[in-house]
Structure 1
Amino acid sequence: MAKKLHMSALAGIVLLAGVMATPVKAFEPTVDTAILVDAETGRILYELNAEQALPPASMTKMMSEYLILEAVNEGQISWDDQVEVNEFLAGLSQDRALSNVMMRSDQTYSVKELYESVAIYSANAATMALADHIAGSEGAFVELMNERGEELGLGTPLRTGGAEAGMDNLDAIAEQNLGTFQYVNSTGLPNRLLNGSHPEGTNEEDDNYMSAKATATLAYHLINNYPEVLDTASIPEKIFREGTTDAITMQNWNWMLPGTQYGDLDYEYVDGLKTGFTNTAGYTFTGTGEKEGERLITVVMGADSEAHRFNETERLLEWGFGRYYEEEIFPANMTLDSYETLAVDKGEEDTVTLATSDAFSELITEGEEEMFSYSVELNQELLNEEGQIEAPVEEGQVIGQMIVEFTGEEQPSYLPGLENTSNSVDIVTTSSVERAGWFSLTMRNIGDFFSGLWGSVTDTVRGWL
């Protein structure tokens, strides 16, 4: 167990000149469901109906992208692997009513080029081909999607079998509170559009569901675990199968990216992440952008047009960048009250000095910079019964944590599972202490013996008097 001491050590940090000079008004959304999140800590900066499960459309593909990148990073597949395409997927890829790149059953395609078609152009048949390649079938891939969703903290999956349970009724989903996400295929299309070839284990009338909070949680883990996703998601345009009769220019559906053909909608700070549209879902978008080192994540669901979802995203980002800023609350190498030193057993020195390893910074709004305190937790496994650490002690050795707490009235909220992941800083030794030699330890033991003996004699004599 860790030793814990609460302290009223409030930070007295002076605001940078000019920061937040003009108050920012409360955000007024024009959609029914939205969320804004700090991409570093997972702190929720704004949310509206963020836990209501809704069809996400192609934002579902973010989970497919996560599993693709996971499989590549773990060596399960490689970018150069050649993927075969069956007759069904070859036929589906020619459906121009859906977002697709042309594929043929007598050709193979690299994982890399199919992944790019998914991340840039939201290609549906290509997504399904990669699902088959990774898991053996799309049904098995869907099982992985739901399993990983739970592991990442997206929530509790909704029941599958929507047709039988009436789960195509959004009001029923909200009233029964069955969960915050459900994957029934790898693309985000309603199963009914797959011409009876929906994944095994699902029904023809099933659809995918994610709440805005679940979607933001997925985006958070995708960006932080596999930041290379933005290298591809930020490409405004690329040609698939360039130089062949099947070549197609993949214009990124994210029109906020600088360099797309819709220049009036671009926003210089945006570099991802995933759009979506179905008749049931409306226009959806998970956006992310970075300004002056601060990255935010947005989710907008149920917009009524392409422009609406992008305009609302820009408004959310502008509001977030204008209201919140990162501030150093506690500096690095800070000496902690009552923990300036730690007693050392069997060392050439009796104590070792302590300090924090890094600065603690937080995304805050004006007036919050002094609303923080800290407590100290030492690793008891490193200490003896007297609270000493045994020599030798190396400089930079981690011996505990400084736990930072927000003391304001309105406690910040975080994405699921991220509540306590960024509120601590290591406490380390700032010097080294060598272990005392055999002779020194022997003399200390002799001294301790006679000191103890003399104390015992003194107590006895006092008892006689």
Structure 2
Amino acid sequence: MASVMLLNMLCVSALPAAAILAPDATYAAAASTAVTPNTINPSVTAPQLKLNSAILIEPTTGQVLLSLNPDEPLPPASMTKMMTEYIVADQIKQGKHKWSDVVTVGENAAQSIGSRIFLAKGDQHTIEQLYIAMAVGSANDATVALAEYISGSEENFVKLMNETAKKMGMKNTVFINSTGLDRADMPAKYRPDTDKETLMTARDASILATRIIQDHPDFNKYTTIQNYKFRDRDASPIVNWNWMLEANKNVTNFKQFAYEGLDGLKTGHTSNAGNCFTGTAVRNGVRLISVVFGADTEAHRFTETKKVLDYGFNNFEVKQVVAPKTTVKGTETVNVTKGKESSVPVVTDKAVSFIVPKGAKDPKLTTKTNITPAESLVAPLKSGTKVGTVTYTYQLDAKAQPQTQTVNLITSEEVEKAGWFRQLFRAIGEFFGDLFDSIKNLF
């Protein structure tokens, strides 16, 4: 077993540069294709990509900066494991399991092929050990073992994967297993009763990556591990398939691919999928997420990813245009019913940021408010009560597509309920005020 693992690891850790750049004979490469120009600043020229599909997004705004066939369902290979990673991490976060829980390996996991750590039926390892093997080495057997531990069977876990994808808004994704293997490569006894295959779009992959980053901000604790000794007896450690990790700038075979700020996320490869990669990097406080499908070599998926990320970092930045707790001009207060005061000051509940061309001046904004009717805002009201929304719109010029963001308007003060005597006199005053206006309108 040790000799087999050594051969498997040497394929990455000691691969000569010429072999790294060799084409993959099992996959037909896509033609060089121009991507869809971004709509924020159409004057910026997008790169040409030799891929089947790609996308670049800024996760805090969800803004798409670049796309190529982003909604075409394609086999994602081991990028499928991002969903398995998300669910396992979420179960830990919810307290349903612990990283130290011990998993007993079953037959399905032990019979998994492809990237693996050669688990045997009955082996026992912690969730964290198996998770690292999955996240770093893309181990199919470790992935299946985790899926079966969480849900009792891989079949049940796949149901959870598809339910989670739907909740996330992944509209064009279907999972048939936890690993991304083609159905024919699964152990025959455990293949699902379907002729479908796992499919995912670049847009959906970016949605999933965004959720990983936002819901589990410590994700890079695992995705940045360069190598990992799974068992003391193993001849070689598991080597991270992500050659673009910034730390690889000091690794001879990988330093040509190392990318500043890159700390994740997941590679994928099968003969049907080609070479895929969901990458994420952060520079100067801005994080971008890129997805590429269908590169013709392992190296090519990283060189294309570099093009995509460079395009984003070189041309755009995130700019906060409205601070939290900001007053909206023209809507400084809203009316309240039955309060000691007849109105209350309101502010935005959070900051508003937009993607802007790098070096751009403060963007000009337009606003549109939607306020809850006063009769529905009845005292007492706590400070921080939602009383409406405000939509901010930013547009660089007439050719650019507008960006919009909606935030809540909330009360900045508490409103106490007025006593019956004050409410009575206020009602009388309003009655005579309305009567006077009616008489005045007769003349």
TM-score, with length taken from structure 1: 0.75
Does the residue aligned with 1:209 lie in a helix, a strand or coil?
A: coil
* 1:132 aligned residue: 148
Contact 2:109 2:140 in 1 (8 A): no
1:221 has 2:206 as partner = no
Q: Distance in 2 between matches of 1:117 and 1:47?
A: 31
Q: How do 1:58-73 and structure 2 match up within 5 A?
A: 58-73=78-93
1:50 has 2:70 as partner = yes
Does the residue aligned with 2:237 lie in a helix, a strand or coil?
A: strand
**Percent of aligned pairs with the same amino acid:** 35
1:238 has 2:228 as partner = yes
Q: Distance in 2 between matches of 1:296 and 1:406?
A: 20
* 2:110 aligned residue: 90
Contact 1:37 1:216 in 2 (8 A): yes
Q: Distance in 2 between matches of 1:453 and 1:359?
A: 40
Query: 1:304-331: per-residue Cα shift (whole Å, max 9, x none)?
Result: 2222111111121111011111122234
Change (3 A) 1:100 1:434: same
Change (3 A) 1:312 1:349: same
Does the residue aligned with 2:103 lie in a helix, a strand or coil?
A: strand
1:370 has 2:363 as partner = yes
Contact 1:128 1:187 in 2 (8 A): yes
1:332 Cα deviation after fit: 3.9
Paired residues, what number?
Answer: 393
1:228 Cα deviation after fit: 2.8
Alignment equivalent of 1:429, drawn from 411, 422, 440: 411
1:247 Cα deviation after fit: 6.5
Note the residue ranges of structure 1 that are not aligned, 5 or more in a row. 1-22, 156-179, 414-419
Alignment equivalent of 1:28, drawn from 40, 44, 48: 48
Contact 1:43 1:412 in 2 (8 A): no
* 2:137 aligned residue: 121
Alignment equivalent of 1:111, drawn from 127, 144, 152: 127
Does the residue aligned with 1:384 lie in a helix, a strand or coil?
A: helix
Residue 253 of structure 1 aligns to which amino acid in structure 2?
A: W
Change (3 A) 1:339 1:100: same
Change (3 A) 1:332 1:102: same
Residue 430 of structure 1 aligns to which amino acid in structure 2?
A: S
Based on CA coordinates, which of the two structures has the bigger radius of gyration? 1
1:330 has 2:312 as partner = no
**Greater shift after overlay, 214-223 or 52-61?**
214-223
Query: 1:434-463: per-residue Cα shift (whole Å, max 9, x none)?
Result: 4444554455556667x479969x96xx99
Contact 1:240 1:247 in 2 (8 A): no
Q: How do 1:320-359 and structure 2 match up within 5 A?
A: 320-359=312-351
Does the residue aligned with 1:80 lie in a helix, a strand or coil?
A: coil
Note the residue ranges of structure 2 that are not aligned, 5 or more in a row. 1-42
Residue 363 of structure 2 aligns to which amino acid in structure 1?
A: E
Question: Per chain length, whose mean CA-contact separation is higher, i.e. which structure has more relative contact order (CA < 8 Å, sep 6+)?
Answer: 1
Change (3 A) 1:34 1:397: same
Q: Distance in 2 between matches of 1:57 and 1:70?
A: 22
Q: Distance in 1 between matches of 2:239 and 2:402?
A: 39
1:118 Cα deviation after fit: 0.5
TM-score, with length taken from structure 2: 0.79
Change (3 A) 1:140 1:432: closer
Does the residue aligned with 2:162 lie in a helix, a strand or coil?
A: helix
Change (3 A) 1:284 1:441: closer
* 2:261 aligned residue: 269
* 2:8 aligned residue: none
Does the residue aligned with 2:287 lie in a helix, a strand or coil?
A: strand
CA-based RMSD of the aligned residues comes to 3.1
Query: 1:191-220: per-residue Cα shift (whole Å, max 9, x none)?
Result: 2223524433235xx532222222222222
* 1:384 aligned residue: 375
Contact 2:76 2:198 in 1 (8 A): yes
Query: 1:409-453: per-residue Cα shift (whole Å, max 9, x none)?
Result: 44368xxxxxx8xx122223334444444554455556667x479
1:112 Cα deviation after fit: 1.4
1:265 Cα deviation after fit: 1.1
1:353 Cα deviation after fit: 2.4
1:146 has 2:137 as partner = no
Residue 400 of structure 1 aligns to which amino acid in structure 2?
A: G
Contact 1:139 1:201 in 2 (8 A): no
1:295 has 2:287 as partner = yes
Residue 84 of structure 1 aligns to which amino acid in structure 2?
A: T
